């Protein structure tokens, strides 16, 4: 081979080598960018899908409802406190307007007149409330009835309804308690009570057999030809041998604590479930 041919072959090899080197360098230049893009794509794949963020509204809403129940419970406790304070206010005369009476539940009033014992009605069954003598129900939770009697007010000429108090079942018949059937004019202090709605599972009133299971003031007043004004005698109005007064229980349905526990528990459990589903099980 001549020197010229050898030089020519050598030059071609150099050119091919240079081209291979440039191609390799070019590949090395673009490989890091490709690697970074791949890493970014990998990181984005670890994030929860869009609908997962919407599911976070469930624990958030449950937490909000739990907080709302905390506020409702505080409002209910304040309302019960105000009602208990109302029972300790000085007694006032019964207002002449019925709409004024609607705003006076648990307010003490004082009336003077006489009972019509021939028209007694019985709320039953009822347990003895000994609140005036120490608080709560009787030690044996005795079953009995509350005696509701028409009362003719001598000063206004109106006839109202007075819940005189509790008697045992064996003394529901008025003939078993003749000393408690007070004759003549008396003064009674009682707390104003309004109409009562029948609670679930409570039987309907059996008017024909004089068995009243809930306080239906309108029906009681119509039956006895009285006005729909109903008061519950305080303990101080009890007469020897008669019904035991002071049977009013200041109570409102207050189940907010169980609602608080329910909503907060749901918030915690759903939040943990969301975290476990979309983060905890994702490989790092």
Q: How big is the chain by its Cα radius of gyration, in Å?
A: 42
Strand partners, 162: 149, 231
pLDDT at residue 262 in the model: 94
What are 48-103's pLDDT values in tens digits?
777 778 888 899 999 999 999 999 998 888 888 888 888 889 999 999 888 899 88
Q: How far is C-alpha 14 from the geometric centre of its chain's CA atoms? A: 91
pLDDT at residue 284 in the model: 53
pLDDT-based confidence at residue 280 (cuts at 50, 70, 90):
low
Which tokens belong to 124?
């039953």
What are 122-135's pLDDT values in tens digits?
999 999 987 653 33
Q: How many helices (H) and strands (E) does the chain have?
A: 6, 6
Q: Is the pLDDT of residue 32 over 60?
A: no
Q: Is the pLDDT of residue 264 over 70?
A: yes
Q: Is the pLDDT of residue 17 over 60?
A: no
């Amino acid at each position: 081979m001549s020197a010229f041919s050898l030089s020519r072959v050598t030059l071609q090899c150099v050119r091919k080598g240079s081209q291979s080197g440039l191609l390799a360098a070019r590949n090395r230049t673009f490989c890091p960018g490709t690697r970074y893009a791949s890493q970014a794509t990998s990181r984005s794949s670890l994030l929860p899908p869009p609908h997962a963020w919407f599911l976070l509204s469930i624990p958030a809403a449950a937490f909000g409802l739990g907080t709302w129940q905390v506020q409702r419970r505080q409002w209910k406790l304040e309302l019960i406190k105000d009602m208990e304070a109302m029972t300790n206010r000085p007694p006032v005369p019964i207002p002449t307007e019925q709409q004024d009476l609607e705003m006076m539940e648990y307010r003490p009033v004082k009336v003077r007149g006489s009972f019509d014992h021939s028209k007694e009605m019985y709320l039953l069954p009822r347990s003895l409330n000994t609140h005036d003598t120490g608080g709560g129900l009787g030690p044996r939770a005795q079953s009995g009835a509350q005696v509701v009697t028409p009362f003719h007010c001598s000063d206004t000429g109106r006839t109202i309804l007075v819940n005189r108090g509790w008697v045992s079942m064996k003394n529901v018949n008025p003939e078993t308690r003749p000393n408690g059937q007070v004759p003549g004019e008396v003064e009674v202090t009682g707390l104003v009570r309004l109409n009562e709605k029948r609670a679930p599972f409570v039987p309907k009133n059996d008017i024909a057999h004089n068995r009243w299971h809930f306080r239906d003031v309108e029906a009681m007043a119509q039956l006895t030809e009285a006005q729909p004004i109903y008061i519950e005698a305080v303990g101080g109005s009890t007469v020897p041998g008669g019904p035991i007064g002071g049977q009013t229980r200041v109570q409102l349905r207050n189940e907010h604590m169980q609602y608080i526990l329910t909503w907060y528990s749901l918030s915690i459990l759903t939040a943990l479930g969301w975290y476990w589903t979309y983060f905890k099980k994702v490989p790092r």
